[in-house]
Structure 1
Amino acid sequence: MRHLRSLAVGGAAVGLAVTLPGTASAHPKPSPPVTLSSSVGAPFNLEVDGPRVLIADGGPGYVGSLGSDGSVTPVVANIPGAAGVATRGAWLAYTSTVTVGEGENSVNSAAGLHIRRPGGGTVYADTTAYEAAHNPDGMTEYGPRSDDPCVQSVVGPRYTGGLDSHAYSVASNGNSWLLADAGANDLLAITDSGQISTVATFPAQPTTVTQAEADALGMPACMVGVTYDFEPVPTDVEVGPGGSIYVTTLPGGPEGPELGARGSLWKVNPSTHSVTKIATGFAGATNLAIGKHGDIYVAELFGGKISVVNSHGVSTLVNLPGVVSVETAANGTVYAGTMGMDESTPGSIVKIANGKIQSRHSVR
């Protein structure tokens, strides 16, 4: 997974383009956020399971259950790269990814989905092995659409999808599971017995470098006018009414003022395996949730807000710095998780009910 990590990454919002059918109501302006809990580090995904709120926390590396006093009790501990969690009745599924090295030299050495059966026993679906055997995006081309040596000295040559798996998010889908693989750039279906198949891959995300962008990134003149095909990076998957599947993606490169906010929301047809972009322009689309009345909520990590997508277009539900995850309950209540940046600003879980953020006193 090459995402031009050497380029600057930041957050800035740009205009949003939307084509989303259906009916949904606009949200009233929410009240200021108040936390349910400040006892989390990196709550990459949430699962609302009846009265329970489960948290996949990549900081301490566990799946935990949120208590009424704001505490978090581990349900499954010692999960390397904990990121995704989902339930189906008494079943529990969660993702893990083992990463070796740091920064530019980091490599995902193992990744997969753990499926805990009712009454005991766990099945492991090895997405790293599946990627090695099938590499679903192996025919997709990424990189610059240029053979200019100057261009390639800056961003490298054109390439096809490599071998990488980062098992990130999971959702229940009937009697199976869906997994968004942020390393393999694909959406997978996984049975309870651990059999894996490809549901969809996502197209390369092209950006044509302007003079202003080249200047902002410190690029030479040869980069102006060059189109670079970035890798799509699936970050979350949810199943909507009628079985429609929705996925958020990062654009695989800078999302700061240099190239703008380019995250997207997709609709996946499970029968034809086709993908349709229904909204774009998100600054760090790290998570999504399906609302009670057809609204789709998108967590924008770099934009510091939750956006709501419906037939009215795209609007801001609430500004929430550090937001990385969002989930909904059956009654329409929205929950969200924010990243812990340092000791003075720990991660948090908030609750948004009827367009207004409500919560109990936070604890540490």
Structure 2
Amino acid sequence: MRSTRPLIAAGAAVALALSLPTSASAASDPPTPKQWSDQVAMPYSLTVDGHRVLVADGAMGMIGQLQPDGSIEPIITGAEGTTSVATRGKTMAYTTSLEQGEEAPPLESGLTLQNPRGTTYVDLHAYEYANNPDQGNTYGFVDSCLGDAGTNAGITDAHAYTVVPYGGDWLVADAGANVVWRVTDAGDISVFTLFPPVPVEVTEDVLPMFGVDENGQPVLPDCVVGSTFNAEPVPTGITVGSGGVVYVTTLPGFPGMVTGAGQLWRIDRNGGEPDAIASGLAGPTSVAMAGNGAVYVAQLFGGGVAKVSTSGEQLGFIPLPNALAVSTASNGTLWAATAAATDEQGNPTGPGTIVSVSKGKVKVNGHVLR
């Protein structure tokens, strides 16, 4: 998977031309999001613990807590490349991936578990490099005039993106390894589920994404149009529903990240084969389960947050450009975060934000528990 921040910049311009299936939006008539903070840059993850709202800001290398005045109180600093935060009792878990460039896999990637008894670091990078569960997948062009050119098996690449508690363990969606890991408090790792490649049709609009010459013409031959490109699935968001059923979003990788090929998957309790229940999502990066059984999906390139049922039926849409993270409170409040706005070159043009969506009064607890 390409490193996350360049991915956001690269996809934003192309995403302007995309149209998402939001036919249920008019019927849903959701409340207008209320902005609480603009003191974040890349808030990859939100976690709601009671009335506490925690945020993992990858640009700041910080785990922080939203305060009633909109400021962010740091809890953990120096967490370079942090991508998510979760809690279970007195344990705080967060993921980090140390990037080394736009196209190269991260140098380090892991899960940190911190509680009053101490701190444990689980090296997911080392486990991926020793096992590489998706090496049996085939990515790249299939059934094209290029033959076997441009195809490859799954490479070693770990990019821990989201962690959630799962019973007495933790689940980690790994956007590089293309799996969900199951991790114990003792640091034991196993594969919870492995995702298959995501087929993307190479249309005339998609063809130039593979490169153009000095005259602006596609570098690949026209005979590629109509073929299939197997993109890496790139799991991002993860949430747990009733009965231990797990829901995961996949981005997916190039060129699917900018063609609306994102999906929502269901995995039965204790893992196994994933089942795609919704498609047509544009850059889904986060997912959260509501108390009424609905699922909210943040779409980075889709202009907002989609609301779907656990069977994949569209239930509504909340406009929120650059939506990057979602989380839900027990009282039904939806919390969401947006990425800092950028131009086509990836230069910041505005801050990230944290917002709430609720029909009632929303309370924020600023007391920090360390």
Q: For the superposition of Structure 1 and Structure 2, which TM-score range results when normalised by the shorter chain?
A: 0.7 to 0.9
Counterpart of 2:187 in structure 1 is 194
Counterpart of 1:22 in structure 2 is none
1:23-69 CA-to-partner distances (Å, cap 9, x unmatched) read xxx97413433311111111100000111100000110111000111
8, 19, 22: which one pairs with 1:13?
19
Counterpart of 1:121 in structure 2 is 118
Q: Within 2, Cα distance between the matches of 1:253 and 1:337?
A: 24
1:159-194 CA-to-partner distances (Å, cap 9, x unmatched) read 110101001100001111000000100000000011
Counterpart of 1:287 in structure 2 is 286
| 8 Å contact from structure 2 (residues 231, 254) kept in 1 | yes
Q: Structure 2 vs 1, CA of residues 255 and 206 (structure 1 numbering), >3 Å: closer, same or farther?
A: closer
1:315-361 CA-to-partner distances (Å, cap 9, x unmatched) read 4431001110000001111000001125652111000113x89799x
Pair 1:227 & 2:228 matched: yes
Pair 1:137 & 2:131 matched: no
| Matched letter for residue 36 of structure 1 | W
Q: Report the 3-state secondary structure (helix = DSSP H, G, I; strand = E; otherwise coil) of the residue aligned with 1:138.
A: helix
Pair 1:350 & 2:355 matched: yes
**Structure 1 unaligned residues grouped into runs of 5+:** 19-25
Pair 1:168 & 2:161 matched: yes
Which range moves more in the overlay, 330-339 or 264-273? Answer: 264-273
Higher relative contact order at CA 8 Å, sep ≥6: structure 1 or structure 2?
1
Q: Report the 3-state secondary structure (helix = DSSP H, G, I; strand = E; otherwise coil) of the residue aligned with 1:199.
A: strand
CA positional deviation for 1:222: 2.3
Counterpart of 1:301 in structure 2 is 300
| 8 Å contact from structure 2 (residues 111, 122) kept in 1 | yes
CA positional deviation for 1:210: 2.7
Pair 1:109 & 2:107 matched: yes
Q: Within 2, Cα distance between the matches of 1:85 and 1:313?
A: 28
Counterpart of 2:265 in structure 1 is 266
Pair 1:248 & 2:254 matched: no
| Matched letter for residue 174 of structure 2 | D
Pair 1:96 & 2:89 matched: no
Q: Within 2, Cα distance between the matches of 1:221 and 1:183?
A: 31
Q: Within 2, Cα distance between the matches of 1:17 and 1:274?
A: 30
| Matched letter for residue 247 of structure 2 | Y
| 8 Å contact from structure 2 (residues 288, 327) kept in 1 | yes
Q: Within 2, Cα distance between the matches of 1:189 and 1:316?
A: 32
When the two structures are superposed, what TM-score results if normalisation uses the length of structure 2? 0.85
Q: Report the 3-state secondary structure (helix = DSSP H, G, I; strand = E; otherwise coil) of the residue aligned with 2:134.
A: coil
Q: Within 1, Cα distance between the matches of 2:183 and 2:27?
A: 35
Q: Within 1, Cα distance between the matches of 2:113 and 2:312?
A: 38
Q: Within 2, Cα distance between the matches of 1:174 and 1:254?
A: 36
CA positional deviation for 1:146: 4.5
Counterpart of 1:181 in structure 2 is 174
Q: Report the 3-state secondary structure (helix = DSSP H, G, I; strand = E; otherwise coil) of the residue aligned with 1:229.
A: strand
Q: Within 1, Cα distance between the matches of 2:209 and 2:90?
A: 51
| 8 Å contact from structure 2 (residues 51, 363) kept in 1 | no
Q: Within 1, Cα distance between the matches of 2:111 and 2:349?
A: 33
Task: Compute the RMSD of aligned alpha carbons.
Answer: 2.7
Q: Report the 3-state secondary structure (helix = DSSP H, G, I; strand = E; otherwise coil) of the residue aligned with 1:108.
A: coil
Give the % identical residues: 39
| Matched letter for residue 177 of structure 1 | W
Q: Report the 3-state secondary structure (helix = DSSP H, G, I; strand = E; otherwise coil) of the residue aligned with 2:106.
A: strand
1:142-167 CA-to-partner distances (Å, cap 9, x unmatched) read 11115745x77xxx521110101001
Q: Structure 2 vs 1, CA of residues 191 and 216 (structure 1 numbering), >3 Å: closer, same or farther?
A: closer
1:201-227 CA-to-partner distances (Å, cap 9, x unmatched) read 101001222345436763431211221
Q: Within 2, Cα distance between the matches of 1:291 and 1:282?
A: 19
Q: Within 2, Cα distance between the matches of 1:27 and 1:357?
A: 23
Q: Within 2, Cα distance between the matches of 1:28 and 1:185?
A: 33
1:101-145 CA-to-partner distances (Å, cap 9, x unmatched) read x323x331110000012x241111100011011111111111111
> How many residue pairs are counted as aligned between the two chains?
341
| 8 Å contact from structure 1 (residues 32, 357) kept in 2 | no
Q: Report the 3-state secondary structure (helix = DSSP H, G, I; strand = E; otherwise coil) of the residue aligned with 1:38.
A: strand
Q: Within 2, Cα distance between the matches of 1:157 and 1:255?
A: 16
